[in-house]
Amino acid sequence: MNSNEIKVALIQQAAAVDSVANLDSLEQSIRTAAASGAKLIVLQELHNTPYFCQQEEIANFDLAETIPGPSTERFGRIASENGCVIVTSLFEKRATGLYHNTAVVIDADGSIAGCYRKMHIPDDPGFYEKFYFTPGDLGFTPIDTSVGRLGVLVCWDQWYPEAARAMALAGAELLVYPTSIGWDSRDDEAEQQRQLEAWITVQRGHSVANGLPVIACNRVGHEKDPGGHTAGINFWGNSFICGPQGEFLARADEKAVTLAATVSLGRSEEIRRIWPFLRDRRIDAYGDLLRRYID
């Protein structure tokens, strides 16, 4: 393995109601992945608990924690003991009444390499994130780690080509998407399949358009709506790792699994030479992208 190749892993799991059980399961999975040679391990969005945004409930703010805090301390210890970089996803309490959906990257020495606060915040039935999260204010800034520069984005961000391109232009070597996305039980099977394929396709498109590998880590399992207003969410899993031409290196189904693959960061140089999209961008003609809509 050359210096530009790293073994990466993502942990796709169902969330238990008991956060202690979730964390214990994640720790065991991380240790197993690291023992198999993984140097970068990605966890799904808001992995410590079930997806609490299915309802607007003030008591759920008690789930938030500071950064640094208990989770970063625990994952820092795990990272340092196993010599791996871990991408976590936490409900951040920044101040009283101010909360973010935040990815925290823990470097292999256990230190916090950096944070990314989710920029695009959805508000749909079953996904009431605007009730909980303030939009991020750290920008699209890659995080330097011992395994490379990570362009970390979170869930709803994955639909936006602007976010992926901004990370690429800032020097990201890898795009990473911790995610919690699933089906509304009211949608029929054909609609569910269209949604899944769209989710996969758009992220592979970011890979192709930017010449970068992509890691997308989703959760699995059915989670009830605590408020009883809907039938809950069936998280569709299907996490994947792809190379800089959008080619699948590893792909999961709807079952809990640790997915791993060897990713070549150096191959992006080769791909960008044969497909020089960054060279041919018409930056003189893109001013309207800063407008909400062109009337």
Provide the annotated active-site residues. 45, 118, 155
The burial of 245, by beta-carbon neighbours within 10 Å (0-12 exposed, 13-18 middle, 19 or more buried), is given as: middle
Would you say 37 and 286 are in contact if contact means Cβ atoms under 8 Å apart? no
Taking each helix axis from N to C end, the angle separating 70-82 and 19-35, rounded to the nearest 10 degrees, works out to 20
Tell me the C-alpha distance between 104 and 100, whole Å: 12
**Amino acid (one-letter) located at 245:** Q
Nearest to 113 by CA among 168, 153, 76, 166: 76
Q: Provide the edge-to-edge strand list for the sheet that holds 98-106.
A: 112-117, 98-106, 85-95, 40-43, 5-12, 257-264
The burial of 69, by beta-carbon neighbours within 10 Å (0-12 exposed, 13-18 middle, 19 or more buried), is given as: middle
What tokens were used for 74? 């625990």
CA distances from 185 to 50, 214, 231 (A): 18, 28, 6
Residue 254: Cβ within 10 Å count: 16
| Phi–psi pair at 223, nearest 5 degrees | -125, 125
What tokens were used for 118? 């989710």
Taking each helix axis from N to C end, the angle separating 189-210 and 161-169, rounded to the nearest 10 degrees, works out to 20
What tokens were used for 55? 């309802």
Would you say 176 and 186 are in contact if contact means Cβ atoms under 8 Å apart? no
